[in-house]
Structure 1
Amino acid sequence: MIAVQNPNKISTNGLGRYGEEVAARRLAEGGLCILERNWRCAEGELDIVALDGDTLAICEVKTRSERGFQQPAEAIDRTKADRLRHLAERWLVERWPIHFSRLVLAAEQAWGVEPRPDAESGGPAPPPPGGVRIDLVAVVNPRRGAAAVEHLRGAV
């Protein structure tokens, strides 16, 4: 027997990619600076890493179709929340110094300040002044029209 897929149905992977694209656009429109998308390591993936002012926002994107039985927020249980916290810590150790030095260089250039010789060294970077929070971006894809997007700050 050959299974035929409904051509009007978006695959789960396709729906997820669509949701992440919509979420990134909405976050940027809301003033967040997207630092990375789909950062991966051996232990998992972070969908979106962004700066919200001086706060580092780790954004988990959950996308569902309008016909789905589960709301996006219901997909984050204790295990998933713990894993997101661990991945956020790992991202801070591995990636924050690089982004921090780039942000410092950009600020120095914008202010007309002579760049420091160690600005690109990737040396010790202070933690984000506003701390780190884990957000949920819930995207619901309706049958028709634009997706509904809800950004829940500090949801985890």
Structure 2
Amino acid sequence: MADKDDLGRAGEDRAARYFEERGFTVLARNWRCRDGEIDLVVADRMTVAVVEVKTRRGEGFGHPFEAIDARKRVRLWRLAVAWASAHRDLVQGRRLRIDAVGLTGATVEAARLEHLVDVEVP
């Protein structure tokens, strides 16, 4: 596995722990369909959040959230709807939203974690 893949997986692990520490349950990791992949799906009593996780060692290539452009946000929403359609029982009675987690730092454990709730979809 490439170093970049290891970094991404470690970032997803840390993001999953972050949500669990806040009372969310991880419903899915790396869920795939023909349209792409969702990093995490998490839920609490009222909400199901599809989470895009971006991990960077530094900001030399920009802030992690800069990689989530308008096109990517539209794609994430399509993926969220596909996941919800395939898991109606888990979504029923809950609000569906898109969140983003950005991690920036030399190591994933020491990285600064930022959480954007309810990312706006154009």
- Aligned with 1:69: secondary structure? coil
Aligned mate of 1:14, from 6, 14, 30? 6
Hey, which of these two has a bigger chunk of strand by percent?
Answer: 2
TM-score scaled by length of structure 2: 0.87
1:151 equivalent in alignment to 2:115: yes
Aligned mate of 2:83, from 86, 91, 103? 91
Q: Which residue of 2 aligns with 1:73?
A: 65
Q: Which has the larger radius of gyration?
A: 1
Q: Which residue of 2 aligns with 1:59?
A: 51
Please give the per-residue CA displacement for 1:11-42, whole angstroms capped at 9, x wherever unaligned: 21111111101111111111111111110011
- Aligned with 2:118: secondary structure? coil
TM-score scaled by length of structure 1: 0.69
Unaligned runs of 5+ in 2: none
Distance 1:33-1:66 versus aligned 2 partners, 3 A rule: same
Q: Which amino acid aligns with 1:150?
A: E
Q: Which residue of 2 aligns with 1:128?
A: 93
In 2, the alpha carbon distance for the partners of 1:137 and 1:94 equals 24
% identical equivalent positions: 42
Q: Which amino acid aligns with 1:62?
A: K
Let me know the Cα RMSD of the aligned residues. Answer: 1.9
Please give the per-residue CA displacement for 1:93-115, whole angstroms capped at 9, x wherever unaligned: 11232x36xxxxxxxxxxxxxxx
In 1, the alpha carbon distance for the partners of 2:88 and 2:103 equals 27
- Aligned with 1:57: secondary structure? strand
Distance 1:152-1:25 versus aligned 2 partners, 3 A rule: same
- Aligned with 2:19: secondary structure? helix
Are the equivalent residues in 1 in contact too, given 2:47–2:96 (CA < 8 A)? yes
Distance 1:84-1:144 versus aligned 2 partners, 3 A rule: closer
Structure 1 residue 142: Cα displacement: 2.2
